Structure 1
Amino acid sequence: MLDRYRTVRESGNKEIVIKKSRFIGHVMPVETEQEAIAFIERIKKEHWNATHNCSAYMIGERDEIQKQSDDGEPSGTAGKPILEVIRNQGLKNVAIVVTRYFGGIMLGAGGLIRAYTDGAVAAIEAGQPITRVLHREVYVEVDYTWLGKIENELRNRAIRTGQPSFADKVTLLCLPEEPEAEGFTAWMTDLTQGQSVITEGERIYFIEGE
């Protein structure tokens, strides 16, 4: 799993008009190629009467899956520019469809490339670009006498935390970023003078800054 990557928060769409042609950019975060294909097919059904529904998607930690479609536009003028926008913005696990309703004015190859580029950028803006950061669950079980000190230190270091659980002892759910998890465990052991029981849990993505 990647320590961090850029994607979009949610599905969205935005329309722009270029020389009387309507270009509607649609975007969706996807985890699999099947999700991307289903999204593209859904947009095609919704806009069945559009002149073109051009698309591209990029999926995988190393961008293993990259596909594009000009959907009837001249080769290289639609799908490739959309894919280039995804790549240039450093996004992963994203599918984009740019729908075109022809307005009667020919744009030429250069004009089409610019239009589909702008449509893809508009789609990404609508989907709200975010950075997802990988964290590790670290459970720290201690006597209640340690609670105030630990909570204060966690605040000072701006460590993300979850809901604690209270029983005979208190168990704090700490969520350091994944690369820092090992160092966090050593620090917590030292902080509590070895009087804590520390166990690691799952790895979870959170949105940076939230």
Structure 2
Amino acid sequence: MFVSFELPARDLITHEITIKRSRFITWITRAESEEEARAVIAEAKATYPDARHHCSAFILSGQNPIERSSDDGEPSGTAGKPMLDVLRGSGMQDIVAVVIRYFGGIKLGAGGLVHAYSGAVSETLEQVTRVEKRLRQLAEVDFPHAEAGRIEADLRTNGIDVVDVHYGAAATYTLGIEPGGLEALNELLAALTQGEAEASEAGEMWVER
């Protein structure tokens, strides 16, 4: 399982190329489950119902990573697999690509199709904003209200993620740190608070930045 990985921002990125009068319209966006990926593919089919092909590929992270691709009527191995290969090469997870083809009347041949579908995805990927997702151990710690702002700024400077803040009798911070980093965090807190603050474990979560 990944401790950190890149994935696309939630925007839907679209791009179109024309090769020998065939139009190739590419959609790339985030999908964090197979249901989400298939919903994107279904939406592409609904948006372009008269297109000849709606080829697709997606890569999903998780304990059981999933990779799927579909040629959607193109000769076997000429569309979905090349698209999947390009997605793999990007290093991103939780990503889905759909290439909608309007046939222009000129056959491209197997090699031409591979080039067209892989090129369509490659060009679209250049426009995708990448986001890093990291598994963070959570820690909770209380600070006096008067000191919280200064300590928070110092924590952020040291690469600590501030996940949540609750204001009660004290300012209770939930912090995101590298897995196994609680001892190092407490050493930092001791230095920042003259030994007044100590954090305790509070689970884990995925954090984007």
The reply to whether TM is greater than 0.5 is yes
Secondary structure of the residue that 1:135 maps to in structure 2?
strand
From the superposition, tell whether residues 148 and 66 of structure 1 become closer, same or farther in structure 2 (CA, over 3 Å): closer
Residue identity opposite 2:199 in structure 1: I
What is the TM-score of this pair, normalised by structure 1? Answer: 0.83
Tell me the residue number matched to 1:168. 169
- C-alpha contact 2:182 2:199 (8 A) present in aligned 1: no
State the shift of 1:2 in Å.
2.8
- C-alpha contact 1:61 1:92 (8 A) present in aligned 2: no
State the shift of 1:134 in Å.
2.9
Secondary structure of the residue that 1:72 maps to in structure 2?
coil
Tell me the residue number matched to 2:6. 6
Q: 144-153 vs 4-13, which deviates more?
A: 144-153
Tell me the residue number matched to 1:67. 68
Question: Which whole-Å deviations, capped at 9, do the CAs of 1:63-122 have from their partners, x for residues lacking one?
Answer: 731111111111110000011011111111111111101112221111110110012123
Residue identity opposite 1:4 in structure 2: S
- C-alpha contact 1:15 1:122 (8 A) present in aligned 2: no
Separation in 2, partners of 1:148, 1:42: 46
Residue identity over aligned pairs, in percent, reads 35
* Counterparts of residues 132-151 of structure 1 (less than 5 Å): 132-143=133-144, 147=148, 150-151=151-152
State the shift of 1:176 in Å.
3.0
Residue identity opposite 2:37 in structure 1: A
Tell me the residue number matched to 2:89. 88
State the shift of 1:34 in Å.
1.7
Q: CA RMSD in A?
A: 2.7
Q: 100-109 vs 141-150, which deviates more?
A: 141-150
- 5+ residue gaps, structure 1, are none
Residue identity opposite 2:5 in structure 1: Y
Tell me the residue number matched to 2:131. 130
Secondary structure of the residue that 1:110 maps to in structure 2?
helix
Separation in 2, partners of 1:64, 1:120: 21
Separation in 2, partners of 1:86, 1:97: 11
Separation in 2, partners of 1:68, 1:144: 53
Aligned length: 208
